[in-house]
Amino acid sequence: MLLMRRELRPEVPDDRLLDALLTTEVAFAADAENLTSLEGQSALVGAIGLTARSGAQCYLDVPNVDLPGVTAPLTSPLLVDGLLDLGLDLIPGRSFEPRLPAHEVDLAVVLGDSRWRGLARRIVRLSGDAWRGRIAPQGERWTPRGSPFGALASSGLAAGEAYKAAMRRLGDWAPGREVFDALFADALVAEVALAPPDTPAPTRDLGHFDFVSGGAIIHAALYALSRIPRATAHARVIEPESNELSNVNRYWFLRSSRLEEKKATHLASLDLGDLRITAVPRLYCDRNLNEIGPLAHRVLVGVDHIPSRWAVQQARPSWLGIGATSDHFVQVTFHSAGLCCACCLHPDGMEAPRKIPTVAFVSHWAGLWLASIFARVASGLEVPRVHQQTTMWTLRPDSRSAIQQSQGVSTSTCELRCPL
């Protein structure tokens, strides 16, 4: 609701915001052919998870197929059983419907070239390959690619469309109708390529690394990495706080039944196959460095607190990746030898802490970009310097300027005297 208010007049009552979220209806359809690959399953489960966390009523027209591989936060090895169980454990009082309604829904999300047999104001189809995800009126059959990244990009695109459908119910409360309508218009065709087209699938051995934060962006990054077929890794999660109800709106692995637990120990308790997590329930700061011990050579950071990003950079890991969000914008940077440091690309550290407006699909994009760049580095692939900084405007991924990539520039006052 905080995020919705950013685009509406201040007098809009909370009830109207809640009503817009909870009365948005989204149907998901998939057939067994499109669900034979892990990628097809990832795209569908991803789109449902992200959409449900914003409160939409979800209807499922999908077969109850086997789910091989890592399933968390689903706890059943069967698709529909797992989804229905998850639906009861997210937004209090909500559940998924295992059939299509007789009436028209706001949005149908159809996997690949599966059949759609319901009524919907709008249909988007999910397609993709190893690193590229797409929504469009036409869809392509999902096939195995050895990479979940394109699939999870298509999930993020679909969830953004569901969120915009909810926001469009509030157009009468917009301060300016023309701008509002442009912000929240449908993206008829949108495609996101997380890596160049000839990039091979990621390695399954991701090595040792650290997560600083156990929040939304790290959930999204870990979710993506854990969907790499047979991924193996050992990662620490360095995070002192506990899960709260307000986190359920966007934390990929969080179920309402796991509130109050330490975020780090919750993540360490998940069954992620051969991707092992060690919990370090401490704040990353000078006074805890003895207990935390040295950082891994590669570190992924998702903290809101900007001076914490600097503190990790000061420890000079050989590769540092940072994911951040601001309203509907995502910023992801990486820092390694010869590049400018995190302090130079994340300079606004003196801002007072505040309640931060968030939504699932935006956090997802930050974690997905971060994980996709890390997975390429862990696979020994070169990530071009001109991709050091990625920014994405997530509301209109169909606009030509939605994604910008560039090499960062050192500031003249840099205390680390970067380039690193």
Q: 170 or 340, CB closer to Zn ion? A: 340
Peptide bond preceding 196 in cis form (omega within 30 of 0): no
Q: 123 or 344, CB closer to Zn ion? A: 344
Considering only 39-47, 166-174, 250-258, 336-344, which stretch makes contact with Zn ion by CB under 5 A?
A: 336-344
Per-residue mark of binding to Zn ion, 199-238 (x: CB under 5 A): ----------------------------------------
Q: 264 or 343, CB closer to Zn ion? A: 343
Considering only 121-129, 260-268, 370-378, 402-410, which stretch makes contact with Zn ion by CB under 5 A?
A: 402-410
Could you say which of 341, 371, 377, 392 contacts Zn ion (CB under 5 A)? 341
Taking the complex as a whole, the smallest distance from the CB of residue 313 to Zn ion amounts, in Å, to 8
Which among 38, 26, 37 is positioned nearest to 360, based on CA atoms? 26
Sequence-distant (6+) residues with CB within 8 A of 93 are: none
Considering only 283-291, 335-343, 370-378, 379-387, which stretch makes contact with Zn ion by CB under 5 A?
A: 335-343
Tokens of 266: 């919750």
Could you say which of 111, 190, 254, 418 contacts Zn ion (CB under 5 A)? 418
Considering only 19-27, 144-152, 281-289, 411-419, which stretch makes contact with Zn ion by CB under 5 A?
A: 411-419
Taking the CA atoms of residue 29, residue 200, residue 298 and residue 191 in that order, the dihedral angle to the nearest 10 degrees is -40
CA distance 77 to 195: 31
Cα angle 190, 219, 285; round to 5: 125
CA distance 250 to 50: 7
CA distance 134 to 154: 5
Taking the complex as a whole, the smallest distance from the CB of residue 415 to Zn ion amounts, in Å, to 7
Q: 145 or 335, CB closer to Zn ion? A: 335
Q: 295 or 418, CB closer to Zn ion? A: 418
Could you say which of 4, 52, 126, 344 contacts Zn ion (CB under 5 A)? 344
Pairing of the two strands 205-212 and 232-238: parallel
Which among 284, 278, 249 is positioned nearest to 266, based on CA atoms? 278
Considering only 1-9, 318-326, 355-363, 407-415, which stretch makes contact with Zn ion by CB under 5 A?
A: 407-415
Cα angle 18, 177, 153; round to 5: 60
**Rg (Cα) of the chain, in Å, rounded?**
20
Cα angle 158, 92, 88; round to 5: 70
Q: What is residue 48's three-state secondary structure? A: helix
Tokens of 167: 């926001």
Q: 86 or 418, CB closer to Zn ion? A: 418
336 touches Zn ion (CB under 5 A): no
Which among 142, 164, 144 is positioned nearest to 154, based on CA atoms? 142
Q: 356 or 409, CB closer to Zn ion? A: 409
Taking the complex as a whole, the smallest distance from the CB of residue 346 to Zn ion amounts, in Å, to 10
Considering only 7-15, 169-177, 342-350, 391-399, which stretch makes contact with Zn ion by CB under 5 A?
A: 342-350
Measured in residues, the chain has a length of 420
The letter for the amino acid at 26 is V
CA distance 128 to 151: 6
Q: 231 or 418, CB closer to Zn ion? A: 418
Count the site residues for Zn ion by CB under 5 A. Answer: 8
Taking the complex as a whole, the smallest distance from the CB of residue 306 to Zn ion amounts, in Å, to 14
Q: 259 or 414, CB closer to Zn ion? A: 414
Where do contacts with Zn ion occur on this chain (CB under 5 A)?
340-341, 343-344, 410, 414, 416, 418
